[in-house]
Amino acid sequence: MNIWEKLPKPFLILAPMEGVTDIMFRQVISHAGRPDLFFTEFTNVSSYASEKGRHNALERLEIAPTDSPIIAQIWGKNPEHFSETTHALASLWFAGVDLNFGCPDKHVNKAGGGAAMIRTPDLAIECFRNAKKSTVLPVSIKTRLGWSQPNEYQEWLPVLLAEHPAALTIHLRTKKEMSKVPAHYELIPEIIELRNQISPKTKLIINGDIRDKAHALELHSKHTEVDGFMIGRGVFANPYCFTDHRPTREELIELLKLHLDLYEKQSQKYYISYETLKHFFKIYVNNFPGAKELRTKLMETHSAKEARDIINS
């Protein structure tokens, strides 16, 4: 069944973020209040197609019971590798496959993937077609307005919509803009019109500067033909952003303790540097009296046990 046809309107998604939305953090967000749909971090199709890289790819694609429904996001530039990867994903309990044509990371772009696909539209379409013909799962796309100029969407988005993806997520900035300028909400009506003209059955998802559920509903009241909204950095300000709840200090600390527990469990299976966990501390230890002092102490720790001891004291 097509997961995109089963979602409410508007639906909410946690944006795939490299180094953030791994299996541990997704479980934390599920505990706080899950979105309607999760995405994995993106996985390189060439890694999956390589015997040497497959172990790492499968680690990134691991999912927890609380993740379902979840979409596997992939990237690359080799059409045959897209075929091989999407064919295999159908047996791994995913509800769909999403092609990343929007990541602005310079290393990803130098390799020809992510937002670099905007500059090679013929290759992008070949990759999409290979992915679509090789799986029974619905195939969607996440992209940006363009490479350097916002008005590039007028040529780029029709190319994608002509392939009738199951869903199209648009981060309302260009690759060059990164997240340095406000999202171009003023373009939403024109993007809706393009979708309606070319591929009316494609679900349209808006991404960029969306703070929380209330903000998404406010945007939807102005743009009712948008099907869903994707929240990225908003989750850093409030991990309960998919709910109407405003957490207490105690609730945020409990989320941190849960994250520590999940880290210890996951690190028994894979090597995970404790330093990467420190990037999350500001999410839970922020905006309450004593937060800065507590966060400073936590940043000096070297293990989950040390962090837990400081919290409990």
| Cα dihedral 105/60/230/277 (nearest 10) | -80
Contact 276, 19 (CB under 8 A): yes
Q: Is residue 156 classed exposed, middle or buried when 0-12, 13-18 and 19+ CB atoms within 10 A define those classes?
A: buried
- Surface-to-core class of residue 110, CB atoms within 10 Å of its CB (0-12 exposed, 13-18 middle, 19+ buried): exposed
Q: Show which residues are catalytic.
A: 103
| H-assigned helices in the chain | 23-33, 45-49, 54-60, 79-89, 106-110, 121-133, 153-161, 188-198, 213-222, 234-237, 249-266, 274-277, 281-284, 291-299, 304-312
Please tell me whether the peptide bond between 138 and the residue prior to it is cis, using omega within 30 degrees of 0. Answer: no
